A = this chain, B = another copy of it.
Amino acid sequence: MRVLVTGASGFVGQWVVKGLIRRGHSVIAVGRRNVPVDADASGPIQWRSCNLLDQADVESLVASEQAAGLIHCAWDTTPGAYWTSSENLKWVAGSLHLLEAFVRCGGRRVVIAGTSAEYDWSGDETLHEDTSAVVPGTLYGTAKNSLHHILQQWTPTNDLSLAWGRIFCPYGPGENAARLVPRLIQALSSGEPLPFDSGSLIRDFLCVKDVGDAFAEVFDSGFEGTVNVASGCELSIGELVRMISRCVGNERVDFGTLPDPIDQPHRIVADTTRLNRVVGWTPSRSNEARILETCQSIQHPAQGVMPDRPHHH
């Protein structure tokens, strides 16, 4: 199938593109920047530059490509800023334009990147798509969730098949240097001792390579509805730090020398029954193996993925 992928040069999108290619799809990879100049228009990936926040640009992209499939990964994710940024309003608007135009031009199947931030994070229970409360506490989570609600109510009036994948804690090659895992690798690689808090917060980490592959599988499965895209494995930040410190060969972490963050939810872990049994996808490698790969790609970037220059075979 011809599949549009937005955010195709971004952290998640570049792995979604690979997952689709592996499954035999033809991909129209959409990015605002970083479209490779040597893109081979005759291969299974065609690169298209588009500002998705510009209504006319979106209209022209969708009308000219006539794709039947869409995986929508693009959003503002500027570290530190994206939780509260007004960019969230623009991305809801841009996403609505994109979806409306896509369906009007014959689009039939869409998978959209949602977020664990749509859930109520104040409790400690494992988060399930149907039974857990959806009460986003941030503008980012509210924006994604509002987009989802609108599309859910809209699809019964058209022929669109919609799946919504809630991403938990992705990490891995291509990650912004200001985010947790790259910062830890950087700090520990210096060889100096690392002061840290108690490391007691618990999260559900999944390597972005697997996130991308899971999205491609969700797309292919025809699954309709909401699905957590996560490992289902709980990992404390302390355990994550120890994994990284073993990989980089610096185990001098001083836990408890920094105060714990006061405003962070204690535990954010996904129930992945639906992803595993209904979609039928499980990650091929453990977090331990993926963390090692990630450390290697950041310490020796020539062997890994260039952060701002996605591969395209």
Residues in chain A within 8 A of chain B (CB atoms): 54-55, 84-86, 88-90, 92-94, 96-97, 99-100, 103-104, 136, 138-139, 142-143, 145-147, 149-150, 152-154, 157-158
Contacts and interface: CB of A to CB of B under 8 A. Distances in A.
B100 A96 contact: no
Contact of A97 (B93, B104, B154): B93
Q: How many copies does the complex hold?
A: 2
Contact of A96 (B85, B92, B142): B92
Contacts of A146: 146-147, 149-150
B84 A157 contact: yes
Contacts of A89: 96-97, 99-100, 150, 154
A158 B100 CA distance: 30
Nearest to A91: B96
Q: Which 8 A-B pairs have the closest CB atoms?
A: A146-B146, A93-B93, A142-B153, A139-B153, A93-B96, A89-B96, A84-B157, A55-B55
Nearest to A147: B146
Contacts of A142: 149-150, 152-153
Nearest to A157: B84
Nearest to A84: B157
A100 B157 CA distance: 29
Contacts of A152: 142
Contacts of A153: 136, 138-139, 142-143
Nearest to A94: B93
Nearest to A152: B142
Given A92-B150, A97-B93, A86 B54 contact: no
21 contacts: A54-B55, A85-B157, A86-B154, A86-B158, A89-B96, A89-B99, A89-B100, A89-B150, A90-B97, A92-B92, A92-B96, A93-B94, A136-B153, A139-B150, A139-B153, A139-B154, A142-B150, A142-B152, A142-B153, A143-B150, A146-B147
Residue of A93, A142, A154, A158 ringed by the most chain B CB atoms within 10 A? A93
